[in-house]
Chains A and B, each alone.
Chain A
């Protein structure tokens, strides 16, 4: 399984962009990168995934470096409800992997 590394915690001001980095240097060429978030006492929620190209959906944008060794999840206008733990997971068949401890994002007023 590809190993991912994320910062333990980050703060962001409400209304500003939140940029959450993830290092996945061991990812192979055909493995997708998935991002999830987990709000206290709920199951993880799927945000976005990508392989090579940058992706955008109604929740976030995903920027993947050309060498695919890292990615950044962007929440363009963070709100207080975006306070959560954000997980980046590497393998294409992500259900078989451990999530790691993720990044705790705190959005402050």
Chain B
């Protein structure tokens, strides 16, 4: 297992287009998280899954954003009708968790950098 993989690494799109990012977590991890990070800021939580269930969504996740994790394996994050304010690094992380505890921390991918022009 080579860790958390995110594709693509970079995406440039025109405003109004739809984009989709993929995250492949560590295979034995049951939890998967999406974060967004803008320049000079720390990562901001967007949403997370436990297996295939989406358990929580941040209010930062507008209706234009949707995330899925079919079969509890890889996950996709789609942004519809992109806006310039969506330009950011989108990070995926996975962990092995149970209830309120998290074991051994989170493993992050290298992120997908989105630029909306």
Contacts and interface: CB of A to CB of B under 8 A. Distances in A.
A binds B: yes
Interface of A: 30, 32, 34, 36, 42-46, 49, 85, 87, 92-102
Interface in B53-102: 56, 91, 93, 95, 97, 100-102
A94 B33 CA distance: 10
Nearest to B48: A95
Sorting the interface of chain B by its residue count into under 10, 10 to 19, 20 to 34 or 35 or more gives: 20 to 34
B21 interface: no
Q: Chain B interface secondary structure, helix, strand, loop or mixed? A: strand
Interface of B: 4, 31, 33, 40-45, 48, 56, 91, 93, 95, 97, 100-102, 104-111
Given A42-B110, A43-B108, A93 B97 contact: yes
B31 A43 contact: no
Given A43-B110, A95-B106, 20 more contacts: A30-B100, A32-B101, A34-B105, A43-B111, A44-B43, A46-B104, A46-B105, A46-B106, A49-B104, A49-B105, A85-B42, A93-B100, A94-B102, A95-B31, A95-B95, A97-B45, A98-B44, A99-B44, A101-B42, A102-B42
Contacts of A101: 40-42
